[in-house]
Amino acid sequence: MLMAGTSLEILSINVWHVLMAIGNLLILVLILKKFLFKPVQNILKQREEEVGKIYSDADEALSKANEDKALYEQKLMDAKSEADSLIKLASEQAKRESGDIVSAARKEAERRLKNADDDIELAKKKAAEDMMDSISDMVIDLAEKVVEKEIDKDSHSALIDDAINRLGDSL
């Protein structure tokens, strides 16, 4: 009855054909799993991973940028304070140096003033001595001229010296 070229009845049940239908369906399940679902799901997973990576990279970059910003702000603050301290230091040094210079100048001036005073004193002394000499001579001459031999140099020298000394003291 089942010969090549003939047809099956329209409602016939053949166990082999049922099993073949089941097998065909299961084979197609495997084919679809292997050739359609697995590659596409792999791709979808890869895409998800990539998107996740992009997000995490962005987060990382953002946090790094924030870190950098904080670092730069810190550095800026440091630089500012350093500059402040430098300026302070410099101004202090300048103040100190200027004080030094001023005091040195003052000292020099004082020294010079003192020298000048000494010179003046010396000159005064010298002048006074010269004057004393010349005055004593002049007084003697004057007195000789005034008294004309009335005054003996030797006898009156004590008196004259006394007068000169008084003169010198008043100078």
Partner 1 sequence: MEIEVTGAKILFELPFGITITETQVNMWIVMAVIAGLCIWLTHDLKVKPTSKRQIVAEFLVKTAQNFVEGNMGKRFAFFTPYIAALFSLALGCCFVSLLGMYPPTSDLNTTLGWAAITFVLITFYKFKTNGLGGYLKGLTEPIFIMAPMNVIGEFSTPISMAFRMFGNVVSGSIISALVYAALASANSALFGWLPGFLGEWANNYPILQLGLPAVLSLYFDIFSSVLQSFIFCMLTMLYIKSAAEVE
Partner 2 sequence: MERALVLMGCAIGAGLSMIAGIGPGIGEGYAVGKACEAIARQPEQKSSVTTTMLMGCAVAETTGLYGFIMGLLLILLAPGMFLKKL
Contacted entry of partner 1, partner 2, none for residue 122, CB cut-off 5 to 8 Å set by kind: none
Residues 6+ apart with CB under 8 A from 131: 171
Angle at CA of residue 115, ends 112 and 117, nearest 5°: 110
| Residue 56 interacting with partner 1 (CB under 8 A) | no
Q: Is 152 helix (H, G, I), strand (E, B) or coil?
A: coil
Q: Which is nearer to partner 2, 7 or 170 (CB)?
A: 7
The structure tokens listed for 129 are: 């001595």
* Region 3-32 residues binding partner 2, contact defined as CB under 8 A: 9-11
Task: Name the residue type at position 134.
Answer: S
Is 31 one of the binding residues for partner 1 (CB under 8 A)? Answer: yes
- Pairwise CA distance, residues 44 & 60, whole Å: 24
From CA 118, how far away is CA 121, in angstroms rounded? 5
Locate 116 and state its tokens: 């000048």
How many residues in the chain? 171
Among 9, 148, 150, 169, the residue binding partner 1 under the rule CB under 8 A is 9
Could you give the string, one character per residue 82-121, with x where binding to partner 2 holds by CB under 8 A and - elsewhere?
Answer: ----------------------------------------
Shorter beta-carbon distance to partner 1: residue 32 or 116: 32
Q: Which is nearer to partner 2, 10 or 30 (CB)?
A: 10
Report, in Å, the least distance between residue 9 CB and partner 2.
6
Report the partner that residue 115 touches, choosing among partner 2, partner 1, none (CB closer than 5 to 8 A by kind): none
Report if residue 50 touches partner 1, rule: CB under 8 A. Answer: yes
DSSP string, 113-146: HHHHHHHHHHHHHHHHHHHHHHHHHHHHHHHHHH
